[in-house]
A = this chain, B = another copy of it.
Amino acid sequence: MTLQMTGRLAAEDRTELGDLCPIERASELVARRSTVLLLREASYGTARFDDFVRRTGLTESVTAAQLRTLVTEGLMVKQPYREPAQRQRFEYVLTEAGHDFVPILLALASWGDRHRPRPHRLRMVHAGCGAAVEVEVRCANGHVVGDDDVTVALRSRQRAATD
Complex CA–CA separation, A2 to B101 (angstroms): 10
Q: Is B125 touching A139 in the complex (CB atoms < 8 A)?
A: yes
- Bits for A66-77, please: 1 = Cβ < 8 Å to B, else 0: 000000001000
Known: A17-B122, A24-B37, A40-B23. A100 touches B115 (CB 8 A): yes
Instruction: Return chain B residues, CB-CB under 8 Å to A129.
Output: 139, 141, 143
Complex CA–CA separation, A112 to B145 (angstroms): 20
Q: Is B104 touching A44 in the complex (CB atoms < 8 A)?
A: no
- Bits for A30-58, please: 1 = Cβ < 8 Å to B, else 0: 11110011001101110000000011110
Instruction: Return chain B residues, CB-CB under 8 Å to A55.
Output: 13-15
For the A-B complex with A23-B108, A132-B139 known, give 12 more contacts whose Cβ atoms are closer than 8 Å: A2-B43, A13-B55, A15-B57, A22-B113, A27-B33, A27-B37, A27-B108, A30-B31, A104-B108, A104-B111, A106-B150, A123-B153
Instruction: Return chain B residues, CB-CB under 8 Å to A136.
Output: 135-138
The interface residues of chain A, by DSSP majority, are classed as mixed
Residue ID in chain B nearest A74 by CB atoms? B115
Complex CA–CA separation, A2 to B135 (angstroms): 15
Question: How many copies of the polypeptide does the oligomer hold?
Answer: 2
Known: A55-B13, A155-B122. A44 touches B3 (CB 8 A): yes
Central interface residue in A102, A108, A110, A116, by most chain B CB within 10 Å: A108
Mark out the residues of chain A between 78 and 101 whose CB falls within 8 Å of any chain B CB in the assembled complex. 94, 97, 99-101
Complex CA–CA separation, A147 to B13 (angstroms): 39
Complex CA–CA separation, A57 to B17 (angstroms): 11
